[in-house]
Amino acid sequence: MVIGQRVKRLEDYPLLTGRGGFAADQSRTGQLHARFVRSQVAHGRISGIETDQARARPGVVAVLTAADLPPSFPKIAPRQVGFDEMVPYLQSVLACDRVRYVGEPIAVVIATDAYEAEDAAEDVFVHIEELTVVVDPRVEPSAWDDLGHDTEVMLINEAYGEVDEAFSTAECVVELELSVGRHSGVPMETRGTLAWTDPMTGTLHVGGAAKVPHYNRNALASMLGLDRDRVQLHEIHVGGGFGIRGELYPEDVVVAWAALRLGRPVKWIEDRQEHLIAANHSRDQVHVIKAAVGLDGVIHAIDDEFWQDQGAYVRTHGATVPTLTATLLPGPYRVPAYRVRGHIRLTNKTPAGTYRAPGRYEGSFVRERLVDVIAERLDLDPAEVRRRNLIGHEEMPYLRPMSVLGSKIEYDSGQYVRMLDRVLDHVDYPTLRADVAQRRADGEHVGFGFGFFVEKSGLGPYEGVRASVDPDGALRIVTGAASVGQGVETTIAQIASEVLGIDYASIRVSHGQTDELPYGFGAFASRVTVMTGSATHLAATEIREKALEIAAQMLEASPEDLELVDGRISVRGTPARSLTLGQVAADLDPSGARRHGTTPSLSAESWFHTDHMTYPYGLHFAVVHLDPETGHVAFERYVIAYDVGRAINPTLIEGQIVGGLAQGLGGALYEQFVYDDLAQPQATSFIDYLMPTLMEMPEVEVLLSEDAPSPLNPLGVKGAGEGGTTGAGAAIAGAISDALGSAEIIHSIPVAPATIWATLNDA
Amino acid sequence: MKPASFDYVSASSIDQAVSVLSELGDEAKVIAGGQSLVAMMNFRLARPATLVDINRVPGLDVIDVGADSVAVGALVRHRRLELGGEVPGPLGDLLAEAGHHVGHLPIRTRGTFCGSIAHADPASEWCVLAALLDARMEATSTRGTRLIPAEEFFVTVFTTALEPDEILTAVHLPLLSENHHVGFAEFSRRAGDFAIVMAMTAIEVADGRITDARVALGGVAAQPTRSSAAEAVLVGRAPGAETFADAASAAAENVTPHGDVHGPAEYRVDLVRAMVRRSLTRALGEG
């Protein structure tokens, strides 16, 4: 058995020995370096761009602006959850007449080295007539352009059940205003692109991004007017993805276009200051939510209205984040009636997209805060209120009559109550509650909080692999899916190893190369293990069957009498009569295949299709202690329970969970893109954008379970990439609020120490 | 985030370094550890025309322990003070304790004690220590060497009394007798950040009474400052919780910090109270 084993990562050797190849490590002979000139004002009309002085500087090859782009150059379209009404709000790759956020690309300087390019970029003078800015997404929508479009891109409406009736007859109504701050994935590796054309074929090659290479290839080809096979994307190592890195951005398109136009390789490596104002922001929602509740704590209806601060444009994620927020907000609870209105509003800030646990981090914070307040108002235990509302195991699969990302929401499996009990047992909840109560009576500020959530994973519609055994016995697997460093190669190798009995460490897995497999969806939505893993299982099974069939002919035995162990096929009871998979593969060259009456090569290409997502689920439980003099939050315990159906490699999953928590904790306590009243960004370096470090991380107790395998795929797996993040804002905010003396104190994250100090000192 | 172009001189002697500075004045900047300067150059907030690298100047990586003072040379890294073993007595303890809170390990390994003082961030551990102990800064130029007391040295944020042609070649600190008790407390958002508020204390106790008290604060003004109010409360009293609380209150009542992104002014005032009390408590080995 290799599935379920804590085997070492195949990816680590090059990374740990300094042999990794990241975007900045790539170079091509004769390459040029790009530096973007970005808007320094948040909203204005461009009245002129002076480039002469920059062009005259040593080493400068070109200074390009929107005026140099081909006429009617396309804007970057949504990759998912796009709607027609978004078209007016898409971003030009270089600003034409208006700029709408600080950091918007206006021009690009191309020079023979990166230093010269940056020097010259300072000599590009952009004249901008400043216009009024919008900073608050909740103000009345105002004009966005001169064509009659306003700053509300669209209103998301979802509802089911008898909401109004539930509120009119409710024994108790709880209403709250809650908000999640603006933060995002900030990978250690900033963005970077190297584009070059092969002089022999004219093919444009682009390397540097990881995540959705096939989609980006198609989009780039379309925007640049090239045939798809004339554009190839190459995924290399990546220093973190988290949803934001690897999307198609204006800079990627400009760099590719510049490489074609200039006939030389062009390299762009984003610096950290650019990253914090130019790569996708995320989160940033305000919710006004109310619940109709019985005195027993049972929720009869939820009615929510929220505002998503989308920033200045709609980018590749379209309405993904607000749609996920709207439809997954009810989470693990029954909620028989539900209504939500989500306003996608534009402001003069960096455009927003998805970030690890998009919509679920926000929605879980809102829902779990609501449940805590319900419990307090009804004088009920917060764990008990959750128990009374959790969807039961016997109700699975559970249909939530809405759909998201093109699939209806049907929780495939789950044992939510069992998970709650597991966590309560693990922390000895009655004792813990009594201890907390006693310590509070003694004057300490200590409290606990829950973040129960349902994740989603395994987004379709398909993913495929091509697997083949070489005559020397080596198994090679090519997938169109991508890797953002999460351990795809190891996981896929373990699944294939399980079926074929080949040492997982000998299996080579290739991903994210558009010239190796024409179709691929990529690495997002915790989908790769589910989708590529399932396709791998299908392909390996097909190879196994073919190998046994051919071996039966070669060994003159019946296929039923054969067994495949450690990559060797033998006749049961007669181990001397055996063949390796390599020997079978060698006998399947075209001549051998003809003799065997089959197709050449010991290989299979398999596609796994699905119309439904799988729904993993989890529970964060935090115990915090507050320092009343400083407002410092100290974690006494942090427990994360997570059910992935079936754990291919528990160590990798635990890594995902703990790493995910670092990001969820960052959003709860530290990270925030602050803007001033003129929409000037205030957090443009790591001095002001506070990333949590190892020193800020609690010791995490991970309770990984396999209670609820998914019925939707042959392995029973669910995705593991996001649950470490999802419940963190909810649990941490809940614990702080509890420690401050009431569930009703913390209404927004991140929670700054000064806020805690002010609460405890009535300041 | 690449620096504007600059010339680079690697000085092989202090004479060579100061003669370059004498020639170029404020067009030149001295680089030792570069932990603040290089970041500022990358942000293009600093654009020196010439960098004068003193890393190869012999004799600057010295901790010179004398009878009643110690001179920390311009190339002594934070890490060396943090690891301790060279400076005797309570001063060595304070250097080790405060040194541990300077930035992160890579910063401490490369950055220098004198560089931090020349950079003059009012929330820097070393600037607060210099104020606490009335350190004297040894400034060297072609015109000779002079000693500048801490009180005059720190002019305002990132600004010192060093002339453009001077190098901070050493900082002289008084050794503390075994009757001294030293304490340190700071609050920052994250480990390794510059403190929002920091307090450092050195109190001398004889026959159960405080005979000498020094209390210094960081993060409350444009310079590291002494709290004479807290010191006045302490001297003559017996050390203990009540004394320390009174001193902490006196310190808090006599600062006028500004509010910022971390919180309102009152928050810093309260942090002063907490940090002074904690540093005094730690000085007496109680927590």
Tell me if B2 is assigned to some domain.
no
Q: Which domain holds residue A707?
A: 282-458+612-760
Report whether A739 contacts A445 (CB < 8 A).
Answer: yes
pLDDT tens for each residue of A521-578: 999 888 999 999 999 999 999 999 999 999 999 999 999 999 998 889 999 988 889 9
Tell me if A18 is assigned to some domain.
yes
- The contact set of B with A (CB < 8 A) is 1-5, 43-44, 104, 187, 189-193, 261-264, 266-267, 270-271, 273-274
Same domain, B104 and B160: yes
Tell which of B174, B209, B235 closes a domain. B174
Q: Which domain holds residue B111?
A: 63-174
Same domain, B121 and B194: no
Tell me if A142 is assigned to some domain.
no
Q: Closest-CA residue in chain A for B273?
A: A629
Helix, strand, coil percentages (3-state) for chain B, rounded to 5, are 35, 30, 35
Set of chain A residues whose Cβ sits within 8 Å of the Cβ of B270: 629, 757, 761, 763
Set of chain B residues whose Cβ sits within 8 Å of the Cβ of A695: 190-192
Same domain, A381 and A487: no
Which pLDDT score, from 0 to 100, does residue A405 have? Answer: 87
Set of chain B residues whose Cβ sits within 8 Å of the Cβ of A688: 261
Same domain, B224 and B245: yes
Same domain, B218 and B195: yes
- Give the list of residues 6+ apart from residue A481 with CB closer than 8 angstroms, or none: A463, A488, A511, A512, A520, A521, A522, A523, A527, A528, A531, A532
Tell me the shortest Cα–Cα distance from A487 to chain B, in angstroms.
29
Look at A763 and B261 and tell me if their CB atoms are within 8 Å: no
- A250 phi and psi, to 5 degrees? -55, -40
Tell me if B95 is assigned to some domain.
yes
Q: Give yes or no for residue B287 having a pLDDT over 90.
A: no
Q: Give yes or no for residue B172 having a pLDDT over 80.
A: yes
Q: What is the CATH number of the domain that holds A101?
A: 3.90.1170.50
Tell me the shortest Cα–Cα distance from A663 to chain B, in angstroms.
15
Same domain, B24 and B78: no
Same domain, A442 and A304: yes
At what angle are helices B265-283 and A753-760 packed, to 10 degrees?
90
Same domain, B141 and B79: yes
Same domain, A488 and A400: no
Tell me if B202 is assigned to some domain.
yes
Tell me the shortest Cα–Cα distance from B194 to chain A, in angstroms.
9
Tell me if B1 is assigned to some domain.
no
Helix, strand, coil percentages (3-state) for chain A, rounded to 5, are 30, 25, 40
Same domain, B239 and B271: yes
A690 → closest Cβ in B3, B189, B263: B189
Look at A630 and B187 and tell me if their CB atoms are within 8 Å: yes
Look at A690 and B273 and tell me if their CB atoms are within 8 Å: no
CA distance A560 to B284: 81
Tell me if A225 is assigned to some domain.
yes
H/E stretch holding A255 reads: helix A250-262
- Give the list of residues 6+ apart from residue A31 with CB closer than 8 angstroms, or none: A194, A196, A264, A265, A266, A267
Same domain, A671 and A566: no
Q: What is the DSSP string of A512-555?
A: SBTTT-S----S-TT-HHHHHHHHHHHHHHHHHHHHHHHHHHHH
B2 → closest Cβ in A118, A630, A754: A118
Report whether A299 contacts A389 (CB < 8 A).
Answer: yes
Select the residue from A33, A688, A756, A757 to test the B interface by mutation, using most B Cβ atoms within 10 A.
A757
User: A696 at the B interface (CB within 8 A)?
Assistant: yes
C-alpha distances in Å from residue A668, one per residue of A205, A502, A550, B235: 40, 44, 58, 44
Q: Tell me the Ramachandran region of residue B263: left when phi exceeds 0, alpha when psi lies from -120 to 50, beta otherwise.
A: left
Which pLDDT score, from 0 to 100, does residue B286 have? Answer: 60
Q: What is the DSSP string of A607-636?
A: EEE-SS-B--EEEEEEEEEE-TTT--EEEE
Q: CA A455, A459, A462 angle in degrees (round to 5)? A: 160
Which of residues 248 through 277 in chain A touch B, CB cutoff 8 A? 271-273
Same domain, A585 and A657: no
Report whether A345 contacts A310 (CB < 8 A).
Answer: yes
User: A762 at the B interface (CB within 8 A)?
Assistant: no
Tell me the shortest Cα–Cα distance from A203 to chain B, in angstroms.
32
What number of CA atoms fall less than 13 Å from residue B265's CA on the CB side?
Answer: 8
Which pLDDT score, from 0 to 100, does residue A546 have? Answer: 97
B67 token code pair? 């009878």
pLDDT tens for each residue of A80-121: 999 999 999 999 999 999 999 999 999 999 999 999 999 999
User: A634 at the B interface (CB within 8 A)?
Assistant: no
Same domain, B48 and B102: no
SS3 A431: helix
Q: What is the CATH number of the domain that holds B138?
A: 3.30.465.10
Query: Mean pLDDT over residues B249-272, rounded?
Result: 95
> Which residues in A198-329 belong to E strands, given as ranges?
204-207, 231-234, 266-269, 282-293, 299-309
**Beta-bridge partners for A352:** A281, A314
Same domain, B68 and B160: yes
Q: Choose among B142, B165, B148, B188: nearest CA to B24.
A: B165
Pairing verdict, β B209-218 and B197-206 = antiparallel
- Mean pLDDT of successive 10-residue stretches along chain A, which has 763 residues: 94 94 96 98 98 97 97 95 95 97 98 97 98 97 96 97 98 98 97 96 93 96 96 95 96 98 98 98 98 98 98 97 98 98 98 98 98 98 98 98 92 98 98 98 98 95 95 94 92 96 94 93 90 96 96 94 91 91 96 95 96 97 98 98 97 97 98 98 96 96 98 96 98 98 98 97 81
CA distance B114 to A403: 63
Set of chain B residues whose Cβ sits within 8 Å of the Cβ of A273: 1, 43
Select the residue from B5, B35, B43, B197 to test the A interface by mutation, using most A Cβ atoms within 10 A.
B43
Which pLDDT score, from 0 to 100, does residue A1 have? Answer: 78
Q: What is the CATH number of the domain that holds A586?
A: 3.30.365.10
Tell me if A162 is assigned to some domain.
no
Look at A757 and B263 and tell me if their CB atoms are within 8 Å: yes
Q: Closest-CA residue in chain A for B263?
A: A754
How many structural domains does chain B have?
Answer: 3
Look at A115 and B5 and tell me if their CB atoms are within 8 Å: yes
Tell which of A609, A629, A656 closes a domain. A609
Tell me if A153 is assigned to some domain.
no
Tell me if B123 is assigned to some domain.
yes
Tell which of B134, B151, B174 closes a domain. B174
Tell which of A609, A635, A661 closes a domain. A609
Pairing verdict, β B136-141 and B144-149 = antiparallel
CA distance A341 to A326: 8
Same domain, A708 and A567: no
Tell me if A341 is assigned to some domain.
yes
Tell which of A565, A591, A609 closes a domain. A609
Same domain, B112 and B34: no
Same domain, B67 and B169: yes
Same domain, A33 and A114: yes
ipTM of the complex: 0.95
Tell which of B150, B174, B198 closes a domain. B174
Q: What is the CATH number of the domain that holds B230?
A: 3.30.390.50
Tell me if A143 is assigned to some domain.
no
Same domain, B253 and B151: no
Same domain, A429 and A497: no
How many structural domains does chain A have?
Answer: 3
Tell me if A147 is assigned to some domain.
no
A119 → closest Cβ in B5, B187, B273: B5
